[in-house]
């Protein structure tokens, strides 16, 4: 009896424990909230913010500044640093990109991450009731712009990419779509809808407004060679466009203000990624450029990547009229850049050759003051045998800039914004659209707008210009034919937008013939000074687009028809 | 406790009952002692098998006493023990045996309390009257065990007579009136019987020696104990004495090579973690075993916080049929640790100490300054020649020209630095220049270790206690590194009632350490080869020199790094213990409740000082501080039942419940910059830092709860056929309520075939048991505490955006940061285990062989969403299957020839791992082992985990024709030249530039070398690992040696990226100098020296993969036990001194520092990063002197 009683007691005890413990197994996640919590106006704003924030969450390969995809692949610069450092970029500089290149997959992941956030946010906005419809419309417009931006980037880089919209996002955590449909019409639709939904003036300077959306649509037209529609749209932007703060678009007085943390969000800003460095973290800074700083005792003291090429630097040479040497003769006598024996820290040869003043805002070179950091020292260049003698500058902060830091005490970051579209770019598109459609004089005037502004801003050293600066406006003779006008406009884009990630994408839309001749010229000239270019691969048509990341092809696997969801671009 | 069938003659004067009363006290004491030692196996159901033909009663009693816990009492005057009897019993209770034996004799028996069997003459017991009193001498003495503890209850008998006595609580005895020439026999259960001739002695002090414990040994098997002979699952019982032969900060290191089926990888850093894996790799998640210490389970793999000196026994449950009692946590095996308890009457004080010195092992073969610079020159000249450009080499330090100009000084130009041109004088010449700096030598040291362990223990009728203190202080072989540990233990048990025992086990460990345990390109080992040899340690003004010297790359001065971090440390505190109560509800029913706690607390701070000599110096110092705590609590209740039915059916049953909470805790950390007085440790507070760029964070540990109900049934028929069934139902908070519970059953059976009659003729065979088991265990150990929930969170770097362009203030955002999956359920592991255990030739040999198949199904893998899903963390889903098959093999031999005793042990473990399924899509690959050129470990369906993946080198392109003669095998490029790495079209090929470069295998035969041609180039999983244990003793000397080895595993020697290729400006290997390709050169292993060669090192290739097999003499030690008389004179009970060498040699072909390479990622999913060597802290050679003292 005693035995039975004990057993019953024990079983009863276990039953009680079981019951109470079962409840203990229900635990809410710690450190997060659920979707229901975000179903209101505040929730919408929080999700929209993170959709924008995906722009700043970029790595060195993903960064929309496109220093590797646009500038290095386009010949503005080479990798710099030591041969073994960041080997992904070696493949960019010698036109030998493999399908497992880390930067390509970063690029892919970054854009789809942004798209996922946008789609998810659109779905939340559409499902929330009781929120001011004007706010909803506005935010949906912003999101459509962002989605258009992400897809346009994917389209330029990889050509054929899968399209995931909010409908599919709502259905599948892990969407599987083939990359067999041209997505340009979808992008155009997104941007058109964004234009319709967006206001002229925005709630904050960092948001997208109607004119930014129009500008991106214009860029899309230009990309497709639709110069007629582009011209109309661009004229509207040039005549009536205002930035998100409501200030009319215009070129800022000084060219270098575009690369100055304290002069950001000005009249030239069409759309820029807002980077910030606050007291508690630097992770909204521009991490994608964190290694692109002069080496050793130089600004940032980091890694010494992204060194301007000899061809790029010498493109700034001008003739007696202050006009560029469009025939390529600038490579006949070059700016040496390296140290002249006996002269430390000053290189007279570098300073006497007449150049466009934009050179010394785009490039750090010996003998020319580098912002407020003083004259560059020899150790600012890490390994001249591998990277030449020049240093990047547009992405580098000033010594006295407040909003800068180093990631984990290592690579530098700053609050310097990344321009996606600045007004000078819009003006040059307008010039290009005009030239393509026969309005050569309007084209010339617009190019000269940019050149005239360039003349306003020269680097000074001891109270005098640091080098022999000269920039002149194009006379009509340079714009006598469409071909000549295009030659000048294309060269102007190289000078005005150099080191800003545009160069290759310009070559891309100008077509394989132009791209090949420019890249062949670059390699032929550059290999004289830097050996690695002698082993660069000849530029071929398939290289107009980058390989679709191998890992993603494997990861998405095969569709039901047995073929892979993602088809690799030819020859990769 | 073999004793005193004779003692009644000593008690002629008193009544038996009175005697028994006195004896009871002694017995009560001995009982407690036994409880501690073997956790009590007796019951009223003790059975045994006996076969006696025409033997004496005395023989019968002796046999029963040997094979059970029973002792016999009788009066010599009444009982004639020379009566002949016959018994034939198979697995019968003692009672049945006695009944049979005494049938027909005028005796009856009755069992008294505490296993005493009193044999009485039938009818009224008559008190013994009168003794045959002899006039003789009186002898006194004391009996102790080998550790010096007094032994009560030892039987001391005058040989050839029935006169005797048992020792008292102090181990003392007195025998009076014995013959002058008597010989005394000393006997005690579990110890060797000894005989001492008295001659003229009046005092006899004796040390009893342990008898080798055989199959009667009782081992812990999870919520209970079992006789080793009755085990049907796969349980390795570790010989703790052998473990102790290797002094180490944790028992994991000691376990290496001692247990078949258990793979252990240690690290060289002091107090660093040790990786233990049981029977292969069962999952892509956490593969660490469950540790159960004194009944409290913990998942913590931090073995350093368990003082190895405290360990009494270790059992390893390797298969599902033994481990499934731990159900949901057992799929990686279970290691059961029991700590020492107080053992004997008088307080025993022991002191164990050792002192050792570790010396750094040989470093990589690197170049001196001159060779390094010359290599640079050759490479640059070749680069020009290969490309048809005649570039003259140039270097910021060594000038421009066809030969380098070696300067007198290294100029750290550009540094804001320590000296100027004016300081350069001949007397300040950097004299180390030509040979250069051996950075490794400069940053290492001979490092002492000391350990002191003091233990006080004892027990009496109502309580047992053990109190231990340990101080362990190990310096690392790198400058200023150390690990110190202070630990205390208190284990007590109280018998508060006859039926109720209450006790606790508690340990408290505090450690402080400054060392690096990571494998990374940023640790000091890596800096020692990443620094150029031509940079001196100090510049001419005595400050640190470094890569600020222009052209020196971006290495950090390791001496500076170590010196500046000498005051940084981590503090850890762990409180681990349990309280228990155990009640005997009924004789066969025992209830136990046990509450355990594992509390860890850590605190760290480190100042990352300014390093102005570093080329990529941040120019600002940084201070990090953080702290956290965690609780795990385990509450267990069990009910144990044990009974023998009808003499042949033995049934043991257990049911229980367990509630576990883990991850209860929080942590916080903060960083500040710009300390004005970084050298002054007193200013190292957060408030002394600058406010710019500060960061603060805090976090939850993420609570997980688990609840289980379990039962176990052991059935044995006639001691011959054994069956064990287990079932456990576990629930865990990680999964949604619909998938929360899992049921994990197992069954195993054994056949003690040696008990069968047909085997009896094999006299050489002592025991043979064959057994098989099958069971299911579970696993839910994924890094997500709430895998079922979709979560939204904010994270400044990912979600916030500065809409107002303030440059400094961002709006807060929220994102979907974790996908949830409510359908995810338990990962389960099915395991089949077959094996046998055998001992033969009277215990001279024992062998244990097992084969197992371990299949993991519904393996929890992070869902393989493509990038289209965004960056939210993927949920774990049940998508994978994994399989391991292997053999565990152990054989031991021990023998004594004359005075020389020796033993030889060999154990071998094998596993063949295979991923059967990884995800819904066959192409899914899991990557691990991140390097500068991507991941090198690839895990995919159909092959073992973590295979090395890269290009297979077929040789070199010897000439341009060699380039063009390499043809595509299929497709569009069939018969056309295989385009070298990265080329897409023929137009891109410049054949001359590929001469002397690696020719990669065109795996898919498409005539192009590209990412699709990467293939499996190595396997980090060994064919087998094993240990050889050797022991030898002669008189007071003992000698032992332990070997550990691994065969057939590959290592990915990632260090070669820096030392063997044109990567960074650090140092290079002698291999690169001597074995780089040149036209016509034989034996080249590296491509032609070409400064612009960025293809040969741009991705993983087979050059990095090396055979990682090794055999290491782990320890060799020589001990000497000081003669008793000397020791006693000095006031000690016993004293042993020993000398030891560790890691004396390693046979290996591996070219890295140390072939014992662990995972790169030491965290949860670390097994996917197996075998990649980033320059780990190598094991060092160690010489040691130690002492064991007993007071």
Which of B705, B732, B798, B867 to mutate to probe the A interface, most A CBs <10 Å? B867
Residue among B608, B619, B522, B604 at smallest CA distance from B563: B608
Residue B936: its pLDDT value, please? 92
Cβ atoms < 10 Å from Cβ of B168: 17
The ipTM (two decimal places) reads: 0.94
CB A203 to CB B811 under 8 A? no
B392 to chain A nearest CA, in Å?
A: 10
Residue B427: its pLDDT value, please? 44
CA–CA gap between residue B920 and residue A328 (Å, rounded): 56
CB-based contact, B922 to chain A, within 8 Å: yes
A378-400, pLDDT tens digit by residue?
A: 889 888 889 999 999 999 999 98
Residue A147: its pLDDT value, please? 98
CA–CA gap between residue A198 and residue A207 (Å, rounded): 10
For β-strands B827-840 and B765-779, DSSP reports them as: antiparallel
Residue A334 phi/psi, 5-degree rounding, is: -105, 160
Residue A99, C-beta contacts closer than 8 angstroms, at least 6 positions apart? A547, A548, A549, A550, A553, A568, A572, B1010, B1011, B1012
CA–CA gap between residue B1045 and residue B1025 (Å, rounded): 6
Question: Model's pTM, two decimal places?
Answer: 0.82
Residue of B nearest to A51 (CA): B799
Residues in B 615-634 with any Cβ partner in A closer than 8 A:
615-620, 622
CB-based contact, B390 to chain A, within 8 Å: no
Helical (H) or strand (E) element with B102 = helix B94-102
**What is the CA angle B319-B325-B328, rounded to 5?**
85
Q: Is A125 exposed, middle or buried (0-12, 13-18, 19+ CB in 10 A)?
A: buried
CB-based contact, B924 to chain A, within 8 Å: yes
A48-72, pLDDT tens digit by residue?
A: 999 999 999 888 999 999 999 999 9
**3-class DSSP state for residue A301?**
helix
> What residue has token string 């491509």?
B1087
CA–CA gap between residue A459 and residue A376 (Å, rounded): 14
Residue of B nearest to A25 (CA): B733
* Contact call for residues A235 and A430 (beta carbons, < 8 A): yes
Sheet strand arrangement including B206-207: B172-178, B137-144, B206-207
CB-based contact, A179 to chain B, within 8 Å: no
Residue of B nearest to A102 (CA): B934
* Contact call for residues A214 and A270 (beta carbons, < 8 A): no
Distances (CA, A) of B879 to A177, B283, B859, B914, B973: 21, 11, 6, 15, 38
Residue among B635, B704, B692, B625 at smallest CA distance from B663: B704
CA–CA gap between residue A149 and residue A141 (Å, rounded): 12
CB-based contact, B1092 to chain A, within 8 Å: yes
Residue A55, C-beta contacts closer than 8 angstroms, at least 6 positions apart? A64, A114, A146, A273, B801
Task: Provide the token pair at B660.
Answer: 């576990």
Residue B14: its pLDDT value, please? 39
* Contact call for residues A447 and A492 (beta carbons, < 8 A): yes
CB B733 to CB A24 under 8 A? yes
> What residue has token string 């129009």?
A214
CA–CA gap between residue B148 and residue B153 (Å, rounded): 15
CA–CA gap between residue B1068 and residue A84 (Å, rounded): 13
Residue A458: its pLDDT value, please? 95
Residue B11: its pLDDT value, please? 34
Distances (CA, A) of A465 to A256, A352, A473, B147, B714: 15, 11, 20, 91, 95
* Contact call for residues A109 and A548 (beta carbons, < 8 A): no
Running along chain B, 1191 residues long, what does each successive block of 10 average in pLDDT? 35 39 38 34 58 81 75 73 80 78 77 66 47 62 76 78 76 82 77 77 79 63 83 87 79 86 85 85 86 91 87 90 86 91 82 93 89 93 86 84 80 47 49 74 94 92 92 95 95 91 95 88 92 85 82 91 94 95 88 94 94 85 95 94 87 93 94 92 93 83 92 89 93 91 93 85 87 92 89 91 91 94 92 92 90 92 90 91 92 90 93 87 79 88 92 95 91 91 88 94 93 93 93 91 94 95 92 95 94 89 96 92 86 89 92 85 76 88 91 83
Set of chain B residues whose Cβ sits within 8 Å of the Cβ of A531 = 383-384, 387, 389, 391, 1091-1092
Task: Provide the token pair at A354.
Answer: 């007449």
* Contact call for residues A238 and A426 (beta carbons, < 8 A): yes
**3-class DSSP state for residue B187?**
strand
Residue B659: its pLDDT value, please? 93
* Contact call for residues B435 and B535 (beta carbons, < 8 A): no
Beta bridge partner(s), residue A453:
none
For β-strands B1050-1053 and B1172-1173, DSSP reports them as: parallel
Residue B961: its pLDDT value, please? 93
Lowest mean pLDDT across A301-315, A528-542, B535-549:
B535-549
- In this complex, the residue of A87, A531, A558 whose CB is nearest that of residue B383 is A531
Set of chain B residues whose Cβ sits within 8 Å of the Cβ of A281 = 693, 695, 796-797
Residues in A 428-487 with any Cβ partner in B closer than 8 A:
none
CA–CA gap between residue B674 and residue B683 (Å, rounded): 12
CB-based contact, B416 to chain A, within 8 Å: yes
* Contact call for residues B1104 and B570 (beta carbons, < 8 A): no
CA–CA gap between residue B859 and residue B877 (Å, rounded): 8
CB-based contact, A58 to chain B, within 8 Å: no
CA–CA gap between residue B1075 and residue B887 (Å, rounded): 41
A104-119, pLDDT tens digit by residue?
A: 999 999 999 999 999 9
What's the whole-number mean pLDDT along residues A511-526?
Answer: 96
CA–CA gap between residue B3 and residue B166 (Å, rounded): 7
CA–CA gap between residue B644 and residue B646 (Å, rounded): 7
What's the whole-number mean pLDDT along residues A552-570?
Answer: 90
Distances (CA, A) of B1025 to B332, B1042, B1043, B1051: 18, 14, 11, 15
* Contact call for residues B1112 and B1095 (beta carbons, < 8 A): no
A373 to chain B nearest CA, in Å?
A: 13
What is the sign of the dihedral through the CA atoms of B384, B389, B390 and B392?
negative
Task: Provide the token pair at B123.
Answer: 């009818």
Model confidence at A17, pLDDT cuts 50, 70, 90, reads low
Dihedral of CA atoms B1131, B1135, B1137, B1143 in degrees, nearest 10, equals -140
Residue among B207, B29, B236 at smallest CA distance from B114: B29
CB A50 to CB B1092 under 8 A? no
Which of B554, B866, B931, B939 to mutate to probe the A interface, most A CBs <10 Å? B866
Q: Is the model's pLDDT at A305 over the cut of 50?
A: yes
CA–CA gap between residue B388 and residue A535 (Å, rounded): 10
**3-class DSSP state for residue B1116?**
strand
- In this complex, the residue of A32, A279, A549 whose CB is nearest that of residue B817 is A32
Set of chain A residues whose Cβ sits within 8 Å of the Cβ of B808 = 276-279, 402-403, 415
R_g over Cα of chain A = 27
Task: Provide the token pair at B426.
Answer: 């001949």
Beta bridge partner(s), residue A286:
none
- In this complex, the residue of B694, B786, B808 whose CB is nearest that of residue A276 is B808
CB A297 to CB B922 under 8 A? no
B254/A138: higher pLDDT? A138
Residues in A 409-428 with any Cβ partner in B closer than 8 A:
409-410, 415, 417
Task: Provide the token pair at A59.
Answer: 């790595």
Residue B30: its pLDDT value, please? 37
- A526-529 long-range contacts (CB < 8 A, ≥24 apart) are A526/A75, A526/A78, A526/A309, A526/A310, A526/A311, A527/B387, A527/B389, A528/B389, A529/A310, A529/A334, A529/A388
A245/B197: higher pLDDT? A245
* Contact call for residues B719 and B699 (beta carbons, < 8 A): no
Task: Provide the token pair at B499.
Answer: 């039926």
Question: Count of alpha carbons within 13 Å of B231, Cβ hemisphere only?
Answer: 34
CB-based contact, A47 to chain B, within 8 Å: yes
Residues in A 236-255 with any Cβ partner in B closer than 8 A:
none
Q: Distance of alpha carbon B179 from its chain centroid, rounded?
A: 56
Residue B123: its pLDDT value, please? 55
Using the 8-state DSSP alphabet, how is residue B306 labeled?
A: S
Helical (H) or strand (E) element with A88 = helix A87-93
Beta bridge partner(s), residue B885:
B853, B912
The torsion region of residue B471 among left (phi > 0), alpha (psi -120 to 50) and beta comes to beta
């Amino acid at each position: 009896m005693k035995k039975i009683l004990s057993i019953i007691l024990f079983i009863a005890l276990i039953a009680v424990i079981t019951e109470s413990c079962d409840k203990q197994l229900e635990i809410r996640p710690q450190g997060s909230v659920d979707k229901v919590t975000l179903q209101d106006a505040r929730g919408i704003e929080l999700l929209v913010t993170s959709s924008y924030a995906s722009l700043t969450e970029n790595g060195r390969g993903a960064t929309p500044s496109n220093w590797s995809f646009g500038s290095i692949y386009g010949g503005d610069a080479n990798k710099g640093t030591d041969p073994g450092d960041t080997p992904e970029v070696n493949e960019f500089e010698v036109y030998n990109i493999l399908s497992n290149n880390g930067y390509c997959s970063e690029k892919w992941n970054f854009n789809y991450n942004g798209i996922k956030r946008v789609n998810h946010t659109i779905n939340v906005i559409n499902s929330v009731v009781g929120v001011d419809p004007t706010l909803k419309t506005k935010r949906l417009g912003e999101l459509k712009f962002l989605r258009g931006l992400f897809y346009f980037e994917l389209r330029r880089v990889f050509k054929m990419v899968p399209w995931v919209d909010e409908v599919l996002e709502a259905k599948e955590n892990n969407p599987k779509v083939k990359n067999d449909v041209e997505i340009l019409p979808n992008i155009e639709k997104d941007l058109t809808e964004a234009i319709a939904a967006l206001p002229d003036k925005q709630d904050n300077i960092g948001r997208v407004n109607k004119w930014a959306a129009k500008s991106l649509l214009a860029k899309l037209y230009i990309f497709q060679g639709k110069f007629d529609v582009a011209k109309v749209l661009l004229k509207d932007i040039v005549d009536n466009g205002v930035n998100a703060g409501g200030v009319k678009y215009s070129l800022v007085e000084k060219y270098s203000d575009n690369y100055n943390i304290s002069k950001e969000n000005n009249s030239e800003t069409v759309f820029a990624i807002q980077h910030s460095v606050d007291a508690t973290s630097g992770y909204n800074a521009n991490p994608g450029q964190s290694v692109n700083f002069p080496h050793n005792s130089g600004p940032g003291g980091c890694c010494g990547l992204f060194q301007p090429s000899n061809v790029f630097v010498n493109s700034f040479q001008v003739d007696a009229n202050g006009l560029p040497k469009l025939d390529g003769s600038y490579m006949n006598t070059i700016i040496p850049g390296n140290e002249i024996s006996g002269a430390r820290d000053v290189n007279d040869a570098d300073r006497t050759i007449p150049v466009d003043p934009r050179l010394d805002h785009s490039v750090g070179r010996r003998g020319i003051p580098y912002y407020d950091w003083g004259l560059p020292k020899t150790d600012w260049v890490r390994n001249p045998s591998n990277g030449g003698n020049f240093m990047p500058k547009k992405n580098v902060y000033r010594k006295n800039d407040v909003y800068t830091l180093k990631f984990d005490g290592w690579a530098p970051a700053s609050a310097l914004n990344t321009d996606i579209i600045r007004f000078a770019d819009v003006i040059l598109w307008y010039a290009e659209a005009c030239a393509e459609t026969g309005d050569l004089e309007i084209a010339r005037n617009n190019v000269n707008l940019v050149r005239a502004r360039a003349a306003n801003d020269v680097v000074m050293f001891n109270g005098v210009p640091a080098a022999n600066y000269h920039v002149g406006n194009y006379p009509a003779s340079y714009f006598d034919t469409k071909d000549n006008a295009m030659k000048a406009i294309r060269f102007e884009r190289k000078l005005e937008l150099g080191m800003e990630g545009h160069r290759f994408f310009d070559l891309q839309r100008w077509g394989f013939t132009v791209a090949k001749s420019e890249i062949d010229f670059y390699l032929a000239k550059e290999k004289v000074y830097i050996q690695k270019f002698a082993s660069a691969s000849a530029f071929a048509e398939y290289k107009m687009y980058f390989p679709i990341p191998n890992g993603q092809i494997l990861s998405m696997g095969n569709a039901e028809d047995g073929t892979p969801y993602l088809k690799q671009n030819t020859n990769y | 406790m073999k004793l005193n069938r004779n003692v009644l003659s000593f008690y002629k004067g008193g009544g038996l009952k009175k005697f028994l009363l006195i004896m009871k006290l002694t017995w009560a004491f001995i009982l407690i002692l036994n409880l501690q030692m073997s956790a009590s196996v007796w019951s009223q159901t003790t059975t045994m098998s006996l076969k006696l033909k025409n033997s004496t009663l005395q023989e019968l009693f002796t046999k029963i006493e040997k094979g059970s816990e029973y002792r016999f009492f009788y009066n010599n005057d009444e009982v004639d023990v020379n009566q002949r009897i016959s018994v034939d019993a198979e697995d019968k209770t003692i009672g049945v045996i006695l009944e049979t034996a005494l049938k027909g004799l005028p005796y009856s028996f009755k069992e008294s309390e505490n296993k005493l069997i009193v044999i009485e003459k039938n009818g009224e017991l008559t008190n013994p009257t009168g003794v045959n009193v002899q006039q003789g001498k009186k002898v006194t003495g004391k009996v102790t065990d080998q550790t010096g503890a007094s032994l009560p209850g030892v039987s001391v008998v005058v040989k050839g007579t029935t006169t005797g006595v048992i020792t008292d609580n102090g181990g003392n005895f007195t025998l009076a009136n014995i013959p002058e020439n008597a010989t005394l026999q000393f006997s005690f259960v579990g110890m060797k019987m000894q005989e001492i001739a008295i001659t003229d002695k009046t005092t006899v002090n004796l040390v009893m020696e342990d008898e080798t414990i055989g199959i009667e040994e009782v081992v812990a098997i999870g919520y209970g104990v079992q006789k080793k002979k009755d085990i049907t699952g796969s349980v390795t019982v570790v010989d703790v004495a052998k473990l102790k032969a290797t002094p180490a900060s944790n028992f994991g290191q000691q376990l290496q090579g001692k247990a078949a089926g258990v793979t252990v990888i240690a690290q060289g850093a002091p107090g660093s973690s040790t990786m233990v894996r049981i029977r292969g790799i069962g999952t892509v998640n956490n593969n660490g075993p469950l540790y159960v210490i004194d009944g409290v389970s913990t998942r913590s793999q931090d073995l350093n916080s368990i003082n190895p000196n405290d360990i009494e026994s270790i059992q390893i449950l390797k298969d599902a049929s033994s481990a499934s009692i731990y159900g949901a946590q057992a799929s990686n095996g279970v290691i059961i640790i029991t700590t020492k308890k107080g053992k004997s009457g008088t307080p025993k004080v022991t002191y164990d100490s050792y002192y050792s010195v570790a010396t750094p092992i040989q470093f990589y073969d690197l170049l001196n300054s001159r060779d390094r610079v010359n290599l640079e020159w050759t490479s640059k000249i070749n680069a020009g020649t290969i490309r048809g450009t005649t570039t003259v080499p140039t270097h910021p330090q060594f000038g421009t020209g066809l030969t380098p100009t070696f300067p007198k000084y290294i100029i750290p130009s550009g540094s804001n630095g320590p000296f100027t041109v004016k300081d350069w004088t001949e007397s300040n010449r950097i004299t180390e220049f030509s040979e250069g700096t051996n950075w490794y030598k400069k940053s290492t040291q001979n490092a002492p270790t000391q350990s002191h362990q003091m233990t006080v223990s004892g027990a009496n009728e109502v309580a047992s206690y053990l109190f231990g203190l340990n101080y362990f202080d190990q310096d690392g072989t790198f400058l200023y590194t150390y690990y110190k540990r202070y630990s205390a233990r208190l284990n007590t048990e109280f018998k508060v009632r006859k039926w109720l025992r209450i006790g606790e086990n508690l340990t408290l460990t505090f450690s402080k350490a400054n060392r690096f345990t990571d494998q990374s390109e940023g640790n000091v080992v890596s800096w020692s080869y990443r620094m150029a040899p031509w940079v001196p340690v100090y510049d001419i003004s005595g400050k640190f020199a470094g890569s600020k010297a222009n052209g020196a790359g971006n290495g950090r001065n390791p001496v500076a790094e170590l010196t500046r971090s000498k005051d940084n440390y981590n503090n850890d505190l762990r409180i681990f213990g349990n309280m228990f109560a155990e009640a005997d509800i009924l004789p066969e029913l025992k209830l136990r409740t046990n509450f355990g706690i594992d509390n860890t607390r850590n605190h760290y701070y480190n100042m990352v000082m300014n390093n102005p000599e570093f080329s990529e110096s941040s120019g600002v110092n940084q201070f990090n501080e953080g702290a956290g705590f965690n609780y795990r609590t385990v509450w267990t209740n069990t009910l144990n039942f044990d009974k023998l039915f009808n003499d042949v059916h033995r049934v043991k049953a257990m049911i229980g419940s367990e509630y576990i909470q883990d991850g209860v805790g929080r942590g916080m950390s903060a960083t500040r910059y710009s300390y004005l007085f970084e050298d002054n440790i007193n200013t190292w507070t957060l408030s002394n830092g600058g406010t710019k760029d500060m960061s603060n964070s805090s976090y939850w540990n993420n609570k997980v709860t688990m609840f289980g109900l379990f039962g176990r049934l052991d059935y044995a028929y006639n001691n011959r056929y054994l069956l064990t069934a287990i079932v456990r139902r576990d629930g865990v908070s990680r999964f949604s309520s619909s998938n929360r519970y899992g049921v994990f059953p197992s069954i195993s059976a054994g056949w003690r075939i040696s008990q069968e009659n047909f085997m009896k003729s094999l006299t050489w065979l002592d025991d043979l048991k064959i057994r098989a088991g099958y069971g299911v265990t579970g696993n839910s150990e994924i890094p997500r505490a709430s895998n079922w929930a979709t979560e939204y969170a904010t994270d400044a770097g990912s979600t916030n955006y500065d809409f107002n362009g303030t440059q400094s203030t961002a709006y807060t955002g929220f994102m979907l940061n974790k996908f949830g999956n409510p359908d995810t359920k338990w990962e389960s592991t099915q395991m089949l285990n077959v094996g046998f255990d055998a001992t033969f030739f009277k215990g001279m040999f024992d062998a244990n062989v097992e084969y197992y198949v371990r299949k993991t199904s519904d393996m929890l893998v992070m869902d393989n969403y493509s990038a289209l899903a965004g960056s939210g963390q993927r949920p774990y889903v049940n998508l994978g299957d994994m399989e391991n098959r292997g053999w565990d093999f152990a054989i031991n031999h021990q023998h004594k020839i004359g005075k020389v005793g020796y033993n030889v042990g060999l154990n071998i473990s094998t596993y063949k791992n295979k991923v059967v399924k990884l995800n819904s899509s066959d192409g899914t690959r899991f990557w691990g082992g991140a390097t500068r050129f991507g991941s090198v470990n690839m895990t995919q369906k159909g092959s073992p985990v973590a295979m090395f993946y890269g290009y297979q080198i077929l040789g070199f392109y010897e000439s341009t024709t060699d380039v063009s003669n390499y043809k595509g095998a299929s497709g569009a490029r069939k018969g056309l030249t295989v385009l070298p790495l990265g080329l897409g079209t023929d137009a891109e090929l410049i054949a001359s530039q590929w001469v002397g470069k690696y020719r990669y295998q065109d795996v898919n035969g498409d005539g192009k070398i590209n990412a699709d041609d990467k293939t499996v180039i190595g396997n980090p999983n060994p064919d087998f690992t094993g240990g050889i244990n050797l022991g030898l003793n002669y008189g007071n000397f003992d000698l032992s040696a332990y070997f550990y080895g691994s065969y057939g595993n590959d290592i990915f020697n990632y260090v070669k990226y820096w030392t063997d290729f044109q990567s960074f400006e650090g140092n290079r290997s002698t291999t690169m100098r001597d074995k780089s390709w040149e036209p016509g050169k034989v034996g080249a292993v590296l491509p032609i020296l070409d400064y612009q060669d960025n293809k040969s090192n741009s991705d993983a290739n087979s050059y990095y993969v090396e055979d990682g097999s090794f055999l290491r003499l782990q320890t060799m030690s020589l001990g000497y036990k000081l003669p008793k008389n000397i020791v006693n004179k000095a006031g000690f009970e016993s004293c042993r001194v020993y000398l030891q060498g560790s890691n004396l040699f390693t046979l290996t072909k591996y070219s890295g520092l140390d072939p014992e390479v662990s995972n790169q990622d030491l965290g949860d999913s670390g097994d996917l990063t197996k075998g990649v060597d980033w320059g780990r802290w190598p094991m060092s050679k160690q010489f040691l002197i130690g002492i064991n003292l007993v007071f």
